[in-house]
Structure 1
Amino acid sequence: MRTATARKRVAEAKVEVMENPDGTRTEYEDLAPEPERLEALLRDVFERNWDKIVFGPCIQGSVFEVRMTEPPKKVSMLDGYMTVDLGPWHLHLCLGENRKTHGGKTPPGLARHRRCSRVAFFRDIRRKAGACVRASFGLRLWNGKREQMMTVFFPN
């Protein structure tokens, strides 16, 4: 990427700040949820940085902290879904257009619900003795109904 283009993207980046009920803040920097861009980003996360991440859904009352012990057997795309094959188990993420459902065509409303509609880098900020302390940062994906699909925690 050219330096001028990179500077322009950084300058255009919008940061959304969410105040959390526990007094912490989460800052989000959104990316365009383009399927090709998401595939490249998630391939980098799962294929090249598998040993540095913790991932899973992270919602109030439930956090799955999955840590991989070896690289994925395979990362593939089919019908809008990325599949990350971890051997004994796997995960699917709908990144693009999903056309088929068991026995037929996916209804348009269901396809919109499934597909990733928001992706953002996030940074959680905690206050300690009046100073801001970074707690965690990573990547978060939401579907078309703004339900969280997955959080990837990057190393602190």
Structure 2
Amino acid sequence: MTANTFQRRVTPLNKIDIERLDEDNLFEYEDFPATFDVLGPMLHSLFQEHWQELGLGHVVNGSVLELEFEAAPTACWMYDGYLTVISQGWHMHLCIGENKGGPERTNSPALRQARQVSRAALSRQLNAQGKPQSWGIQFWNGEGEKMMSIFLPSPFLGAGEDFLPEHQPDLAKLAVYENLRQIYVLGTMDIPYETNPLTRPYISVCRSTRCNNGRDWQSVYDAIAVELKAANLDIDLTAAGCLQVCKMGPIVFYSGDDRDREHTWYTRVTPDVAKEIVTQHLGENQKVTRHLYPQS
């Protein structure tokens, strides 16, 4: 998806579903398009700008898992179809693009479809009187199974998740939900980005011991950092735990940019090769073929 095809105004689906939990509670779902160019901006804005107001986890019959952020996420990027968000002490992955199966693209079309978000909706839990009790976002995969839930701010809860006095809700906390609804469900406001922020290019160096086996990944990382600065390239640099090319390190991954969205993996990278990758591939869009993985 390139910048000139990105549409800032969402076309509403106009779909509302009701799911009854029991005699006293039900969920209302307002669907919005589960495309990468809709999910990407929404999730980026939530995790980068509203992380302190969110919870996320899983809700199934008999169990609930809810996590909160104690600080801003240290990473929010795409890798092989998965959005990865890294927080203190935990991290999450959510498949919002095509999970091809790493550099060798071993995943079948059926598996790719099964893993990817196929449906997304703003949700409200309503009581027996039809009054909302909680607000959030629900995702479903390609097999119709519920995936991760995002829990949005509740006007009934104060600091420390304590209930506010009855009839004194903090309605300002609904601002996040209402803003999301206007942009992504109703389509009355533009997406607040000129392009999908999750397509921003980045380059990553694998620091896994399985990849490096005693090799020095840090010198490769440092060489890339120096070369990026010298070339004045606006590309993020990260270090990753695993890039799916084990025992062939140091591994360098490039996510691609508007010229070419194709992911690229490099093996046996030295500091000198790292400099070539920056100047030749990132600067001139010419891959360093002798270090590509897999080799064609």
Rate the CA distance shift 1:102–1:57 in 2: closer, same or farther, 3 A: farther
Q: Percent identity?
A: 32
**After superposition, where does 1:99-138 map in structure 2 within 5 Å?**
99-101=100-102, 104-127=105-128, 131-138=129-136
2:90 corresponding residue in structure 1: 89
Q: 2 CA distance for matches of 1:70 and 1:140? A: 23
Structure-1-length-normalised TM-score = 0.85
Distance 1:50 1:132 in 2: 29
- Specify the SS of the correspondent of 1:51: helix
| Structure 2 match to 1:61 | 62
AA at the equivalent of 1:41: M
> Structure 1 or 2: larger strand share?
1
Deviation of residue 104 (structure 1)? 4.8
Alignment of 1:27-38 (within 5 A): 27-38=28-39
For the pair 1:42 / 2:43, whether they are aligned, the reply is yes
Distance 1:22 1:102 in 2: 50
Matched position secondary structure for 1:112: helix
Runs of 5+ unmatched residues, structure 1: none
2-structure distance, mates of 1:15, 1:107: 32
Return closer, same or farther for 1:153/1:95 CA change in 2, 3 Å cut-off.
same
Letter in 2 for 1:150: M
Q: Residues 87 and 102 of structure 1: is their aligned pair in 2 closer, same or farther, counting only changes over 3 Å? A: farther
CA distance in 2, matches of 1:93, 1:15: 24
Superimposed CA distance per residue, residues 56-112 of structure 1 (whole angstroms, 9 cap, x where no aligned partner)? 011111111111110100100111110001143211110011111596511111111
Distance 1:19 1:148 in 2: 15
Identify the residue that residue 26 of structure 1 maps to in structure 2: 27
Q: Which runs of 5+ in 2 are unaligned?
A: 1-6, 155-296
> What TM-score comes out, normalization by structure 2 length?
0.47
Name the larger-Rg structure: 2
Cα shift readout 1:2-24 (whole Å, capped 9, x = no counterpart): 9xx78x84xx6221112222431
Q: Which 4+ runs in 1 deviate beyond 6 A?
A: none
